[in-house]
Amino acid sequence: MLNAILWGAIQGLTEFLPISSSGHLVLIPALLGREGPDLATSAMLHLGTLVAVLAYYRKDLVRMARFDRSGRRMITIIVIGTIPAVVLGLAFESKLDELTERPSIVAGMLIVTGVILLATMLLRPGDRTTEELQPTDAGLIGLAQSFALIPGVSRSGMTISAGLARGMERVEAARFAFLLGIPVIAGAGLLSVARAISDGEGITASTIAGMVVAAVTGYWAIAFLIRVLTRAGLAPFGIYCVTFGVVALIAL
């Protein structure tokens, strides 16, 4: 139970803060000399973070569900942005899974993430909103999201950075990044659930506890990120990623 709660807190915080959940779920167990979450727990953690983002952006989802002109356009933009991650994820799934067993590479990719986050401070502030994005913008931001398939690369960090590079306002870049992440998070969670069931792993009180913790901390993490973005941008998270990545490399 305590392990599930620990992994739930880590997943919830790092899924939405631009510091890489996959990187932390590889590096922290390696640094502590213990096993990471099993498949069933991992599946429930993903569903927990899915609940968090659905709850936080529920108004946007309701508008899309109306399926009027603006709703259809938003859905189209999200679908376009999701395609790169789906295609590349299916093509390189086995190779990407192997990287989770090489913590030093994961630590190196976390440093790369930090450098990219710090580089966004060189960009001129934009004012574009999610509604103003074009299919080309969605495709490029979606391509950036696909790089987060590599453990240690932050999905939210890459998509927010790409949004800023396309002239988006900070909070709007985060909004689109999280809406774009819904299909990916849902797909990863449901796929993990299916694999866990096929492997004979059941849903237990511990996995449910982990899911609840991931949902609560995930919701808080989104709200916290929005506040930090308006004041300091991505720089604080970039500094953290570089620092933790270097420490992990030295320790490992």
- For residue 187, is pLDDT > 90? no
- Which of the four pLDDT bands, split at 50, 70 and 90, describes residue 109? very high
Instruction: Delimit the domains of the chain by residue range.
Output: 2-251
- Report whether pLDDT(189) > 90: no
- What is the per-residue pLDDT across 32-51, written as a single tens digit (0 to 9) for each? 888 888 878 888 898 999 99
Give pLDDT tens digits for 77-105. Answer: 999 999 999 999 889 988 888 888 899 99
Query: In terms of C-beta density within 10 A (0-12 exposed, 13-18 middle, 19 or more buried), how is residue 165 classed?
Result: middle
C-alpha span between 106 and 118 (Å, rounded): 19
**Mean pLDDT value across residues 68-79:** 95
Between CA 130 and CA 186 the distance in angstroms is 21
What is the predicted pLDDT for the residue at 166? 96
CA distance 173 to 139: 14
Half-sphere exposure of 176 (CA within 13 A, CB side): 38
pTM: 0.94
